[in-house]
Structures are given as structure tokens and as C-alpha cells.
Structure 1
Amino acid sequence: MTKKPCIALLFIFLFFCVAITYSQELKLSNLFCDNTVLQRGTEVPVWGVAAPKEKIRVKYAGQSVTTRTGKDGKWMVALAPLQASKTPREMTITGNSEIVLSNVVVGEVWICSGQSNMQFSVDNVPETKALLASSENIRSFEVKRTVSFKEEDNVSGKWADVPPTSAVAFGFAYFLEKSADIPIGIIHASWGSSSLEAWMPRDMAEEFPYFKDIIDDFDADTETRNRINNALSSGEGWSNQEDIFMRRQPNILYNAMMKPLAPYACRGLVWYQGERNTRYYSGVPEVTEDNWFHRVIGMKEYGDVLQSWVKRYRKEWKNNKMHFSVVMLPGYGKGTNNNPDIDSKSPTAISWAWMRESQLKVLNLPYTSVVNTIDLGDETNVHPKDKLPIGIRLALLAEKHTLDKNIVAEGPILNQVKAQDNKLVVHFNNAQGLKTVDEKAPIGFWIADDSMQWHKAEAKIVGEEVVLSNDDIKNPVYVRYAFAGKPDVNLVNGADLPAYPFRTDNQIPID
């Protein structure tokens, strides 16, 4: 073959490549479709793809914003802050072609994510399901549960003019809508038994060596990657076994289900996750063929990783005020993988109490809140059905912290403990109307002296304080309250919100 035919073939090849590139049709991210809910009160990014250098115009609510696509065909514009509106309007996106979205409204948008207790269906909670008949102005985007080895640009799903399938997400949206009287949009992205690590971007390995080890091993595991690729490419869908296998891997849920959501304008993210990280008290365990899915960080370190995770997500959304509302793990009677059978009332057993303490560390960051669930849960069921109070409390926290309503949204929170004679006096914040739900003496308090031998405390409410004593302890020093797997509690404030668990010692437990 001579050089001239080769050159001709090359030009033909390049011509078709250029033609394909420049004929790329105008498309939006799947987050923008009919029934979309846009976030009020902040810039609203809108993005998609088209041919390189194509002029794009987005029109909505009297605004008209233009841009040109880059060499890669990607484009993004930002609408100026919008006022809440229940009135459906059209959004028009024009390039070499035109897209018209119908029934677009403006309100409060929240992402609801986590593992099985966030995924837990409305149909399984009769009290919450009963609210469906009176719900209005609630829309949802159900993110398809899938994985990817790379960070995706687009997400699988669409907006629908119906409430979310998650009981917690719907309960939250229902009571928030009743309070704010504006449209509520829920982006629901959860998957049962997923770990925090499943939702972590790869670059967090630069901060956490344990995560780097996990990612490096995952990248080198050809068998696992092939198994996942085969499941994803199966024309008949994947089996339940493959489903469990994929959702328990690191990073790849973030790539497919969370990364492509950014930077969609939203008020914040509700995070109900942690059960998967309670298998061990501390560190990352050695794993075998039988417990491969346990290779995640333990309860002790979870809180530090969670704080960095929140900051990393805010960076992805370019929003340092993005609110994160964490759902505390409720009462549960089992221990760790090494010691599952524990006394669920003991203040020293290695229980979910240590995970709750880690979750509360998120409050070290601004624009965060933690829903107290210490009075909820099930001794033997990791999937309790009492989800309605969680939705109510989530809505209260959102009203206070993101809608600036002057309301009581949290129960009593430890302020300080003072010694008085042979007693300890516990001072709380949010203690107006301090009482017990059964009008009996407060329970769930344990005290100790320097020997660290814990004794049940006799507790008495005096005004907005609780006075603790025990005849066997002459010089009490430390307090633990509701610090157990499934503690008995009855202390609330005037808003009937439960007191948050706490401990005043820094003793490290021995598993």
C-alpha cells in the first residue's frame, strides 16, 4: 500500500471523529428533567453536554443565562437565587436544538443517603405510610443503585412528582413541608449494608492511610473487579448475591451514585449510616474469605473520618454551608463481631454507644446536627420500625438550623457537671421543662469515682438540673448517661425531646 491511500484513510478517519464530536446533541444532566425541584435562595447550577463551542441559553423564571461549551462539549450555567414557588414553570435550554422541561418548581432540596435504615421502605412503617394520603408538594429523585470504577458525570434516575420510597426521607420531607409550606425535593441515594468507605471519594486515601490500603488492594484484586464488571454487564441484571457483593466495596458507590449529584444546588444532606462500621471497636480488621466485607474502619475512628468526609463533600459541592444532619444509631442489643453477646444495659460493654459518641463528633463542624434516637430502636432487630420520630426530629432540626425558626429542636445536651458534697450535679442546655416521660425518677445514669467502678446513680430533677448520687460512692467524679447498647431512658425536655447520651470520662474500653 502506498502512502497516499494511508493518508487518505487517515483524513477520512479524522473527518468522522470530528463529525461525531460536533454532532453531539444537546443533553442535560439527568438531574434536570420534568418535575425537577430547584433549591431556593442560592445560585442554581445547570449543566449538560453539547457540541464543542456551541452557544447554550437557559431560561427560567424570567432569567436568561448563556454560555459556550468547552472543547469537551461540557457546559454549565448558574441561575441567580430563586424564590420558593409552588407554581410549575417551564425551563428552556437552547443550543443547536431545544429542550423544554415542564412542571419545574422551587423549594428546599435535600439529599438523603446511607445504608439500609435509610433505604427502609415507607411500606414497612404503617404510621409513616398513613401520611401519604395527606402529603403534598413533595417530589423525589430515586438514584439507581449501581456502582462504577470511575467518577461518573451523570446519574441514573429522574425526578417524579411523588414522595420518596424511604420512610425516613419521606417523614422528614412531610413534616418539613408542613412547616415551610413550600415544595420539598428529596434526592434519595442509599444502599443497604454500605459502609462509610463505600461513599468516600478516592482522594480521601491521601488523608487516611487505612483507606489507601483498602483502595490499593481493591485495585489489585482482578477477581473482584471482573466479578463486578460481569454483574454490571449482565443483560438479565445481577443476583442478590452480586448486589450484596457490590454494595460492600469501597468508593464505587460514591463514583456512581454521589459524585454525579454535585454540584446540584441543595440545602444539605441527611446521613443515616454507621451500622456497617460497628463490627469492630477500633482499627481495620484482618479479613478472611468469610468476613471480607468487614474491612472498614471501626467505631472509635469513625467520627474523625466522618468529619473529613463532610468537609470533602462540601468541597465537591463548592458549598461550605451545606448542612449535614446525621441520624444517631438507635438502641440495639448486640456487640461487636468479636463479642456480639453483651449486656445491652451496661455502660462499659462494647456496644453501639461508642459509635454514637463518634457520630456526635460531627458537631465539631459548623452547619451540622445530630438526630437523637437514644429512646428508639429494637433490642434484637437492626432494622427497627420506629422511623416516624426520626422524620419528625429531622424536620425540627432543619427548621431551626436551615430555616432559622426560633424553636426547640434538640433535647437536653450536657453542658457541665459539678461536684456538690457527695453528689454530682448535671447541667444541660435545652433543659427548659426538664422532666421524665413516665413522671418517675430519671434513669440511665451511672457514676464512678477515680477507681472507674461504675454504679447506677440515684437521680433527681432539680429545676433544669439532675442531681446524682450513690451511697457506695463518697467522691463521685465521672458520669455516663444512656451510654449502652439499648439503654433504658426517660429524660426529656418540655418539647418531649430526649436527652443526648454522653460520658465525662475518657476511659478506653477493653474488648
Structure 2
Amino acid sequence: MKPSLAWLGVLLLLSPCAQARVELPLLFSDGAVVQRDRPLPVWGWASPGAKVQVDFDGRSATAKAAADGSWRVELPAHAAGGPYALRVRGDGETVTVQDVLVGDVWLASGQSNMEWPLRETDGAEAEIARADDPQIRHFKVPQSWSEKPQARLTGGAWASASPQAVADFSAVAYYFAQELRKTTGVPIGIIDSSWGGSSIEAWMDPDMLGLDAAALAEKMRQRQAKHDEIAAKTQALTARWQAPPAQDADWTVAGLDESDWADIRVPALWETQGYAGMDGVAWYRATFELSAREAKGDLELGLGQIDDDDIAWVNGQRIGGMERSWNVPRVYKVPAAVLRPGLNTIAVKVTDTGGNGGIGGSAAQVYLQPAGGQRRPLADTWKFRTAGIRVALQDGVNQIDSLLYNQMIRPLQPYPLRGFIWYQGESNAYPGGDQRYRELFAAMIRGWRADWNAPELPFLWAQLANWISAGDTADAQGNVQSPWAVLRESQSATLALPATAQAVIIDVGDADDIHPRDKRTVGHRLALAARHLAYGQKLVYSGPVYRGMTVQDHRAVLSFELQGSTLAVRGGGDEVHGFEIAGADRVFHPAQARIVGATVMVHSSQVPQPAAVRYAWRDNPTDADLSNREGLPASPFRTTEW
């Protein structure tokens, strides 16, 4: 999620025919997995007019390179198996791709929760240690972008699941592949093309977005003008801070003159506080008080999730630091020898290498805890100043229409796939964007399927997990603003497309962290959907799905699609939580709900004539506990879109 982007502006713009040798796309490299039981296109580049021959397990095909050097052949479908060698002869040389398996290939895409590596998840150490399946393979598409569609990836290689490699695999995709390996017995290849913080628009081409070339160019011009305006504001805000300290120690001591320092909220990334597009080094300072007794013992200091590197001091003494760990909560031990009764000073040097920067995470992660004492919050206003920064809004490319599609999706075509898995939506969960998502998402699915010439290629996604966003509000009348709830509804609406399914995960998120660490459950639920849609297995792959409402005796009676399962309450019993009910006045009230057979009966003494019901209609619906007997949660819903 946080690589340097300085090289991204340098793209491979040379014509393929400039290379006087036969070449293959990087997907056709050692260790590749290719799709079974489908015709296999193989393509590449050579000298114009060159004859190219492709051989694979006794099957051959030939082609002549076109004037631009491009060529393509199609080999017949092949059953699962391997390893095999793929040989391509042309331009007087032979290129051999070794250790090729034939199995099922899935494209995994989205933003940071799909990108999230196995090493940063629950149970990672044990899972990495036992990873030993050379028939699970992972290809990571580098984060890259282009203003025009590209034929070549900027990098990437296949890696087999082993303790040496699997830590960097997409965790969701790995657990998904692991289950499919067990149930199908064939090799599974994952192409991971994801970018943290990306919008859905960045993964769509102009046609999917309904933009012609002129409209796209104008939109790019407007975005650039807006970016220039924001960058100018950030530069004006930081212009007063020119000289960094002669040495770090100068800004770590107590009693420093902070009159020229600014105030900043902690925790909160600095981009959200006026410093948009800023990368480089900045400093934070704060103080805390200790009693004489507290100062005699060691102390635990929590500093949130610092993006990306940090060094921390207390009273001028270094007490910890981490590098390239933007998603790791900092917890440092402060020895008693460093502490003093009364006022103590914290100084933190933060280095941001790209993207977001600063002290982030949740308020609960910023604290001090004296030995044997109560934890005390340090989330507050701190002092802040920069010390060597640059302002460039290039990190926003993952939000711009088509830029990621052009460089991270287009070059993958027409590599045959078994299907898609998708985990994205957080960046579009804002008022307006949450409603529009249903149109965009459906258009993207249809567009990607058309790109692969497979109108019903299975498309599976993870619905947004529970989390508390800044947009989640409710007033005294029960009017809720929840962009995550609306975006979940938009995701559910997309199930109207054929060969689609979603994994509902409102029970495995983290209220304080947009990146929940339980990725095993997400991969498992996506795999259940794949086993049904892609492999035709008869199994329950989804929780209850709302189907309709009637009113009986002042109660709303809700019916559900159950896939042959039964309704249940997570944790047991038949009293269900997370429901609200409203009458014609459109004012929602907390409701009592009970499972009665295959229905849920919902009522409230404050609503004698029910008109509408909603369930789990918040960003973080922790009390929502309707599920089926398999433990799969019901999807959030509302009976009417008031």
C-alpha cells in the first residue's frame, strides 16, 4: 500500500517491435498457473513479420508477428495438471517458461483489505510456518498507473505458497485459494491486482464510466486544477518551517520553544488536517504528568499506527522506533530511569514515504499506562511541525478514473480466468458515492466480463465489514446517516447480475480499525460462494437474505431466502437484535424481534402501525446477530429506501 511512487510516471512507451527478440507477458513466466478446460491464448511481441511457434505439452500453434510486432496464438483447452514447459520460438531464439501448472486462476482486486498481506493478520505466524503447498501460486501486480491503456505490466512474478513467500500474499486471496485447493484438488493461481485506498472509478475504463475521450480529458484537467489548488494550500501552510534541527536531539528535550509549532489532532493522519499531498519528515510533541510513585516504575506508551516510520523519545531519551510499518500499532516500553515526577515530554519523528502520513489509528491506541496503574488516554491536541517535506499529489492517482485499469487490469487480458474476487468500497462510502456505487459496480462487472469475453464469469465480493466512519451519525429522531450501510445496500443490489455472490462480514470487522485482521473468515466465505457458483457444489454459501414484509397484528413479519437452511441467532436463543421499526411518520425506533419459524417478527410499542423495518443499518452494527444455522450472518437491509 505504501511503495514509493516516484517511478510511476516512467512507463513503457516504446513500441513492442523495438525489441529484436521474442517476448511474453510477465504472466507467462516461471511458475505460472494457466486456466484449465478453456482455450489458452498465448501472446507477445517479436520483430515485425517474424514467425512464432508456441509449444505446450504436445500442442503447438504458430503465428506471424504483425507490423507492430504483436502476435497471438490459441492453444486447445487442457485438463488440470503439470508441471509443464511452455516454449516459444521466434526471432532465432527460444523462450522457455518452466514449471507451468494447469488449474484455476482467479483475479483478486480491490483496495487495502484485499491487498492486506498474510503477515499482518490474526494467526499469521503459525499460518506462515505451515504454508507448504506449491500448487497455490500468487502473482502480485505492482501498483502502477497510466493515462492510456497499456499492453504490458510494469513487473510481477509468480510465487508458490511457502514459508519464505506466503507472508506477502494477499491474505483474503490466500485463504480463498487454500479452501479451493482442498475442495477441488487442482492448482489455484491468484493474480493480485489491488491498491489500498483506490476508488472503484480507478478500476474502470472510460466506456464503463460512460465517458468519451473529451469528457475524460476535461475531468482530468479539472482534477489537476483541484490538485494544484490543494498543493498550494499545503505549501503555504508549511512555508514557515524551513530549517530542520541540526540533529534529532535538538527537538526531543523538555522545555523546547514550541511557539512556532502548530496544533494537530492525535490520532488523525495529517492529510485530514490540512496537509494534503505532504510526504517527508514531521515532528510531534506532547507532555504528560506522573506522580512520584508512577515515575518509579516502567511505563507502557501507545502511539497509534504511524505512517510510515517513526522514532520516539521521552525526556530526550530514545524509547523505540519502527520502519515501513504504517499499519502496525506502536507500543513502547519506557524505563523508569527515563521518567520523572511531574511533567514528562514525548517527541516523535515521523517519516512518510508516500500516501498518507502521521500518527493514525484509533484513540484507544494512543495512551500511557504506568506500571500497576490505570491506562490514561493521550489522544488530544499535540504540537506539530515539518522538517523536510515535499508536496506532490501523485499519491491520489489511485482515485482517478481509469488510471489503474489502464496499467493493472488491461495488461492481464485475455489471460483466461475462473472468476473474480473483489474487496473494495471503503473509498466510495461517502454521501452520494454510496448510492452511485450500485451503478458503477454493475458497470464494472459487466465491463470486466466483456473484456474477458465471458458474460457470466463468476464475480464474488466481500461486503464492507463493520467499522465506525466519520460519516456515521444519528439524531434524536432516529435519522441515521450511514454511508457504509448505503454502500452495503448498493453491493447487495448488484446481486441482480447473474453469477454473482457476496460474503457478508459485518461480524468480523473492527470498530476502530478499517483493516480488520480476521481475513481467514473473509476468504472462507468467498470460497463458499465460489464452490457454489463456479464449481456447482450444493451447499449453503450465504446467510439469510431479506425477501419481503407483511404486517400482522401490529407486527412486521419478515421473510428471507434461506437456501434450505434455517434462521438462527448468533450466540443462541430466538431473540434477535439490530432491528429498528418505523410507522408512516418515518421515525425509526429500536425494535424487539423474534424468530418464528422461517420469519422474523418485529415490533415496538411506539409503532402501532409498522410501515418500514431496517436491520444492521449502521456503519458498525455490533448488536446485529441474525444468521443461519451455519453461522453465516444476514446481510443488512431496509424494507424501503426512505
TM-score range, shorter chain: 0.7 to 0.9
Which secondary structure state, in structure 2, belongs to the residue aligned with residue 300 of structure 1? Answer: helix
1:439 aligns with 2:572: yes
Q: Quick check: 2:511–2:620 contact (8 Å CA) kept in 1? A: yes
Q: 1:500 to 1:128 in 2, by over 3 A?
A: farther
Partner of 1:94: 89
Q: Quick check: 2:205–2:401 contact (8 Å CA) kept in 1? A: no
Partner of 1:306: 441
1:324 aligns with 2:459: yes
Q: 1:322 Cα shift?
A: 2.0
| Partner AA of 1:463 in structure 2 | G
Partner of 2:490: 358
Which secondary structure state, in structure 2, belongs to the residue aligned with residue 404 of structure 1? Answer: coil
Per mean C-alpha deviation after superposition, the further-off stretch among 21-30 and 391-400 is: 21-30
Per mean C-alpha deviation after superposition, the further-off stretch among 319-328 and 498-507 is: 319-328
Which secondary structure state, in structure 1, belongs to the residue aligned with residue 581 of structure 2? Answer: strand
Partner of 2:3: none
**Alignment partner for residue 500 of structure 2, among 337, 347, 368?**
368
Which secondary structure state, in structure 1, belongs to the residue aligned with residue 150 of structure 2? Answer: coil
Which secondary structure state, in structure 2, belongs to the residue aligned with residue 203 of structure 1? Answer: helix
Q: 1:364 to 1:23 in 2, by over 3 A?
A: closer
Q: 1:348 Cα shift?
A: 2.2
Q: Deviations over 1:309-368 (max 9, x none)?
A: 1111122222212222121111112243xxx6658xx77233310110111122121121
| Partner AA of 2:457 in structure 1 | M
Distance in 1 of aligned mates of 2:427 and 2:222:
20
Distance in 2 of aligned mates of 1:61 and 1:110:
23
Q: Quick check: 1:303–1:359 contact (8 Å CA) kept in 2? A: yes
Per mean C-alpha deviation after superposition, the further-off stretch among 148-157 and 246-255 is: 246-255
Q: 1:40 Cα shift?
A: 1.2
Distance in 2 of aligned mates of 1:479 and 1:223:
46
Q: 1:210 Cα shift?
A: 8.6
Q: 1:300 to 1:129 in 2, by over 3 A?
A: farther
Structure 2 gaps of 5+ residues are 1-15, 230-278, 280-351, 356-391
Partner of 1:450: 584
Q: 1:504 to 1:65 in 2, by over 3 A?
A: same
Which secondary structure state, in structure 1, belongs to the residue aligned with residue 466 of structure 2? Answer: coil
Distance in 2 of aligned mates of 1:219 and 1:263:
32
Provide TM-score, normalisation by structure 2. 0.67
Q: 1:347 to 1:405 in 2, by over 3 A?
A: farther
Distance in 1 of aligned mates of 2:558 and 2:57:
53
Partner of 1:264: 415
Which secondary structure state, in structure 1, belongs to the residue aligned with residue 126 of structure 2? Answer: helix
| Partner AA of 1:265 in structure 2 | P
Q: 1:255 Cα shift?
A: 1.5
Partner of 1:485: 619
The 5 Å alignment of 1:413-424 reads: 413-424=545-556
| Partner AA of 1:324 in structure 2 | F
Distance in 2 of aligned mates of 1:478 and 1:490:
19
Q: 1:214 Cα shift?
A: 2.8
Structure whose CA Rg is larger: 2
**Alignment partner for residue 240 of structure 1, among 354, 359, 384?**
354
Which secondary structure state, in structure 2, belongs to the residue aligned with residue 179 of structure 1? Answer: helix
Distance in 2 of aligned mates of 1:308 and 1:212:
21
Distance in 1 of aligned mates of 2:469 and 2:629:
32
Percentage of identical aligned residues: 34
Q: Deviations over 1:165-202 (max 9, x none)?
A: 21111111111211111111001111111111221213
Distance in 2 of aligned mates of 1:244 and 1:467:
49
Which secondary structure state, in structure 2, belongs to the residue aligned with residue 301 of structure 1? Answer: helix
Q: 1:450 to 1:221 in 2, by over 3 A?
A: closer
Which secondary structure state, in structure 1, belongs to the residue aligned with residue 202 of structure 2? Answer: helix
Q: 1:220 Cα shift?
A: 7.4
Which secondary structure state, in structure 1, belongs to the residue aligned with residue 73 of structure 2? Answer: strand
The 5 Å alignment of 1:51-62 reads: 51-62=47-58
Q: 1:386 Cα shift?
A: 1.9
Distance in 2 of aligned mates of 1:206 and 1:381:
34
Which secondary structure state, in structure 2, belongs to the residue aligned with residue 398 of structure 1? Answer: helix
Q: Quick check: 1:333–1:342 contact (8 Å CA) kept in 2? A: no
Q: 1:22 to 1:373 in 2, by over 3 A?
A: closer
Q: 1:401 Cα shift?
A: 0.4
Count of residue correspondences: 456
The 5 Å alignment of 1:367-386 reads: 367-386=499-518
Distance in 1 of aligned mates of 2:586 and 2:19:
73
Superposed CA RMSD: 2.6
The 5 Å alignment of 1:122-271 reads: 122-128=118-124, 130-132=126-128, 133-136=130-133, 137-155=135-153, 156-162=155-161, 163=166, 165-207=169-211, 214-218=219-223, 239-241=353-355, 244-271=395-422
| Partner AA of 1:262 in structure 2 | Q
Q: Quick check: 2:473–2:480 contact (8 Å CA) kept in 1? A: no
Q: 1:21 to 1:360 in 2, by over 3 A?
A: closer
Partner of 2:600: 466
1:114 aligns with 2:110: yes
The 5 Å alignment of 1:10-29 reads: 24-29=20-25
Provide TM-score, normalisation by structure 1. 0.83
